[in-house]
Amino acid sequence: MTDIAPATLLLLLIATACAALAHVLWGKRWRQLVFFWVAAVVGCLLAYGLGLRLPLDLPAPAGVPIIETLLAAWILLFIASRLRV
């Protein structure tokens, strides 16, 4: 069995939870769930990859800035919800 880095697992869990909630709120078709998941993953990776940090001393388990990652994911999810897919 291969080992997954804790940061990767945490990013995937955050993206999946955000995409599922976005689909409950705005989704109408099942293919939108995949679209929302991709948007959430891109948002999470952008926040993590660019090293976005708020000027607050917030915890970052496994080096993942949780609040910043959630904000970036939800911004992209909101944009994705407005597209006609």
Q: How confident is the model at residue 73 (pLDDT cuts 50, 70, 90)?
A: very high
Question: Mean pLDDT for the chain?
Answer: 90
Q: How confident is the model at residue 28 (pLDDT cuts 50, 70, 90)?
A: confident
The reported pLDDT for the residue numbered 77 is 95
Under DSSP, the state recorded for 63 is G
pLDDT at residue 19 above 80? Answer: yes
Q: Which domain holds residue 48?
A: 29-85
Would residue 5 count as lying in a domain?
no
Would residue 54 count as lying in a domain?
yes
Q: CB of 37 within 8 A of CB of 19?
A: yes
Question: Residue 79: is it exposed, middle or buried by C-beta count within 10 angstroms (0-12/13-18/19+)?
Answer: exposed
Q: Which amino acid is at 73?
A: A
The reported pLDDT for the residue numbered 70 is 94
The reported pLDDT for the residue numbered 1 is 56
- Buried b / exposed e over 17-52, threshold 16 CB at 10 Å, is ebbeebbeeebeeeebeebbbebbbbbbebbbeeee
Would residue 14 count as lying in a domain?
no
Would residue 22 count as lying in a domain?
no
Number of structural domains found in the chain: 1
